[in-house]
Homo-oligomer: A and B are copies of this chain.
Amino acid sequence: MQLWGGRFAKSADQLLRQFNDSISFDQRMWREDIDGSIAWAQGLANANVLTQVEADTLVDGLRQVAAEWEQENFTIAAGDEDIHTANERRLTELVGSVGGKLHTGRSRNDQVATDFRLWAKRAISAVIEQVTEVQSAIISSAERHHDTPLPGYTHMQHAQPVTWGHWIMSHFWPLERDRRRLQAAFDSADELPLGSAALAGTAFPIDRDFLATQLGFSRISQNSLDAVSNRDFVADALYACAMVGVHLSRLSEQLIIFSSQEFGFVRVDDAYSTGSSLMPQKKNPDTLELTRGKSGRLIGLLVGLMVTLKGLPSTYDKDLQEDKEGVFNAVDTLAIVLPVMAAVVETLQINADKMAGQLEAGLLATDLADYLVKKGLPFREAHHVVGAVVQAAEDRNIEITDLALADLQQISDLFSDDVTAAFSVAGSLAARNVVGGTAPAAVLQQIEAARRCMTE
């Protein structure tokens, strides 16, 4: 039948196969599929469903199949709709009819769930390592510039002085939380569904704990209907990846702004920006922009899976075939974005002079208020006094640090000689020596705390 054949390049058959088959993308799980089958063969032997000789034959055959994949000479045949049928087809070619015993008591439903979880655990571990790379680069930058001052911003407006070390470390902790989210996704994936069969549980006396141990799962699923349709671990992984994307978009955004000619605080290394022989002053921070842009993709992938899961009956529905491409895409995206971000941070040129040039006296207004509070003035009144000081400076068109002590004393008699000490960037920084504060000493302690987190 060729209902639409006249209009479209592909035949109905080709279209349908393309629609139903997943071999084009799930072949990347070939290793996990082999691993799962090896464990299953041994599990069947342990349960006396297969003889040990049969199991050994299967295992040897599976290892041969694996070798073909590894050496990139596995050939996908016409009927191989997914990685599972492909591997079993090849196995049977290699070992003969005993190959037909491998699928005893097992279903594609629990098989694919097992393979996918094995893959997810490996993939999430790799993302965790890549996040750690960025964190290391941040720590190294923070250490080099733990006391380099720049304006701290709220609402993108100058607020109070902070140090570069403190600022860049403010992007370490979100990633640390991401690592915890990724670890939670890993734990979510770390449950063996094998033995659930199509939906109701296998009818053979398989020792599922043995399978879990063989395959490195820390626990086994408790409900077969749930086990074959549970894709929470994928959602958890996509959520964690999306949050990484959000955090990197925030870091990128700020570095892009800091890279503008108007700020000039940083310069992305030539290797990670694109220049122009025509406009050589132009260093487009392309890598940061792409990173920021890819947060959209990562959030979209999470939404996609959640929508697919919405309203789905429990146990296996084919809708679930939509579970893989998204997380493959997310993991592949981060496998580029994260190493590039690590390198960008590592090689970032920081222009301390430009940052210092923006440290105007207005940034010290809070320090002046704190000075008055320490003299006993209630904070809300101190706030008003500083307002008057600012007004006085503005009236004379000078900075508040240029007012004479006498001028200040006209506004409040709490001012005395020691006010000049409060009126310095270094003093302002040093005063914020609380845990998590911007004082250089506190930043060094923060870096130590960060290092401890990473080695935990």
Give the residue of B157, B184, B286 whose beta carbon is less than 8 angstroms from that of A282: B157
A284-B318 in contact given A205-B434, A343-B4, A370-B105 (Cβ < 8 Å):
yes
Q: Is A313 an interface residue (CB 8 A)?
A: yes
The answer to whether A306 and B156 have CB atoms under 8 Å apart is no
A113 at the interface (CB under 8 A from B): no
Please, which residues of chain B bring their CB within 8 A of the CB of A380?
92, 99-101, 103
**Cβ-based interface call for A78 (8 A):** no
**Contacts A173-B230, A313-B253 given: A203-B306 contact, CB under 8 Å?**
no
Q: Please, what's the 1-or-0 string for A151-167, where 1 marks a CB less than 8 Å from any CB in chain B?
A: 11111111111100011
Instruction: Report the Cα distance A335→B19, complex, angstroms.
Output: 10
Question: Which B residues are CB-close (under 8 A) to A435?
Answer: 195, 208, 220, 222
Chain B residue contacts of A431, Cβ below 8 A? 203
Chain B residues, CB < 8 A from A370: 105, 203-204
Q: Which residue of B is nearest A176, CB measured?
A: B222
Is the C-beta of A63 less than 8 angstroms from some C-beta in chain B? no
Chain B contacts of A438 at CB under 8 A?
200-201, 224-225
Most chain B CB atoms below 10 A, which of A201, A235, A260: A201
Residues 288 to 304 of chain A near chain B (Cβ within 8 Å): 289-290, 292-297, 299-304
For A326, the chain B residues whose CB sits under 8 A away are 297, 300
Instruction: Decide if A198 touches B342 in the complex (CB within 8 Å).
Output: no
With the chains together, A335 CA to B14 CA distance in Å?
12
Which residues on B sit within 8 Å (CB–CB) of A235?
Answer: 243, 246
Cβ B154 vs Cβ A316 within 8 A: yes
B437→A202 contact, CB < 8 A:
yes
Q: A173-B221, A235-B243, A279-B365 are in contact. List 20 more A-B contacts (CB 8 A).
A: A92-B380, A154-B198, A156-B256, A170-B315, A173-B223, A195-B434, A195-B437, A201-B433, A220-B436, A221-B436, A222-B449, A224-B438, A250-B309, A261-B360, A294-B322, A295-B308, A296-B306, A297-B325, A300-B302, A300-B307
